[in-house]
Chains A and B, each alone.
Chain A
Amino acid sequence: MSFNEIKHYQLFKTYIEKDKPIDLRNEIFIEFNYLVDIIARKYLNKGIEYEDLYQVAAIGLIYAIERFDPDKGFEFSSFATPTILGEIKRHFRDKSWTLKIPRRIQELSKKIVLAKNHLQQTLQHTPTIYEIAVYLSVTEEAILEAMEASHLFNLKSLDVSQEVILEGGEYLLLDLLGEEDKKFQYFEDKNFVEWMMDRLNPLEREIINRRYIQNEQTQTQVATELNISQVAVSRIEKKVLEKMKLAYPK
């Protein structure tokens, strides 16, 4: 045993003999704190902030200290590493999916990544969906579903700036999003209204024109100016609007 190993062995021995006092645990913690940092860094840029990873890993280290038995004959670092890793993985599993996805799919999507790497080696080409499905003995649909879901691992902020190399300069992701061209709908609607107006009788056209297109008069105003009753205006207007609704392209 090296000097360090003896020192660590002694440390744990006293810790257990003294019935695990907190100040001694803190001492051990500081001694192995470097493990936390190393392991947490391995999971950087996967959707969880470093500070959060560090916290989770530190809790993992405390668990490891609590459970470690120096008489089993292993180095503490080799015992603590899988414990800390496990804690981080658990955190990823529970917390990092922005949208909650059924566990079956979460797990499958992880298996797919592994299977893809494995099959790439053994088959010497990028595996097809079918090959992955056979390898994992699930249906092709399930594979596709899980692949789709894995994109939801985290959501991109619309305010993320995106380098667009072609045009130079920076754009926000938000700026690159497509949006429906409202003008198209406007012209289609305009077209439709004109088409519809051609098919109305002169009185109907007059009423719609006065009520909606030219000057948004009230029914009473229209009725007075055309010298008909307000009820007739109301009835005809309603009728025409219903006709339009029926004729409007879905």
Chain B
Amino acid sequence: MKDKIELTFPKKASYLSVLRMTASVISSQLDYNIDEIEDIKVMVSEAGVLFINNVPHDEEPLRVCFELTDTGISISITDRNSGEMVVDEGDMGVMIIDSLSDTWQLNLSQKRIILTKKLEKQDNR
């Protein structure tokens, strides 16, 4: 299975809840348990906050792409606004993402973050 969903969201804090809900509905397509879905919700909204706080312009919407495979979900969020992105060392949001995701890549020049969450085998639960 390899399903791809691409969405854009207005780059406003008030739409983060929509992004969170969307992420949870999409990830529930896979067999994640409640805890893992909570993790995904938190890390997606933290990634959203990261762009809102660190990229000054907000005319262009955030582009969010979900990729579902048999082994897990990969979520990439891209900010296409102009302006330089600077993230402090030890940023809270980054640490939260680091805790909750399996892998994450932040590309400052492309202003894109890619988060993955593996799907644990059912019988390991």
What is A's interface to B at a CB cutoff of 8 Å? 201-204, 226-229, 231-232, 234-236, 238-240
Stretch among B7-15, B55-63, B74-82, B94-102 lining the A interface: B94-102
Contact across chains for A231 and B99 when beta carbons are under 8 A apart = no
A185–B31 Cα distance when bound, in Å, is 39
Q: Counting CB contacts under 8 A, is B38 at the interface? A: yes
Q: Count chain A CB atoms within 10 A of each CB in B35, B46, B93, B99 and give the residue with the most.
A: B99
A204 lies within 8 A of B95 (CB)? yes
Contact present for B90 and A202 (CB under 8 Å): yes
Query: Which of A201, A229, A231, A238 interacts with B95 by CB under 8 Å?
Result: A201
Let me know if A239 and B100 touch, CB within 8 A. Answer: yes
Smallest distance from the beta carbon of A205 to chain B beta carbons, Å? 10
Secondary structure class of chain A's binding surface, majority of residues: helix
Q: Known contacts A202-B90, A227-B92, A238-B35; decide if A232 and B42 are in contact (CB<8 Å).
A: yes
- Are the CB atoms of A231 and B42 closer together than 8 Å? yes
A229 with B92: CB separation less than 8 A: no
* Further contacts, 10 of them, CB under 8 A, given A204-B99, A232-B96, A234-B38: A201-B99, A202-B95, A203-B92, A204-B95, A231-B38, A232-B42, A235-B42, A235-B96, A239-B99, A239-B100
